[in-house]
Amino acid sequence: METPTPETTKERDEREYGEFLQEIRVALPGVEVLFAFLLTVPFTERFDHLRGDLKTAYFAALLCVAVACALLLAPTAYHRIRFNAGDKAWITRIGTRFLLVALLAIAAGVSMTLFVVTSLIFSRAVAIAVGAVSGVALLALWYGVPLARRGRGTSEE
């Protein structure tokens, strides 16, 4: 069996950039759908009857999801402006940071949206519990699990 040839820096940059783009392609449609839904909510009849704190939570959720959209789309603009400059490694690095911050914003936006919706269906206590549990669960799934694995030093190799 032949030993695989180690990849060059350029090959590694290309591979990592491709992997990064795939991750963005997975995250962005869901965020865009959530953002579109949240943009329609104030135009519903029931929105005017929301308590002030629920409107505030809704607006905070909307802002979080808008920030996530901006962060997830930014690498596309960077690539389009600098695509012939050999900046794929930089775009991947900065884009990865943006993606990680966007996931925090998405978790906050989803949690606050669940809080608002649950408040309309159940008691405030249930809504707080649902919002908090969803936020903790998303953070645990998206950050806790991979960071714990990294802390143990385990890898597939």
Domain boundaries, the chain: 16-150
pLDDT tens string 2-26: 677 788 888 888 888 889 888 888 9
Please state the φ and ψ torsions of residue 153, each to the nearest 5 degrees. 75, 20
Compute the distance between CA of residue 77 and CA of residue 6 in angstroms, rounded to an integer: 31
pLDDT tens string 86-124: 788 888 899 999 999 999 999 999 999 999 999 999 999
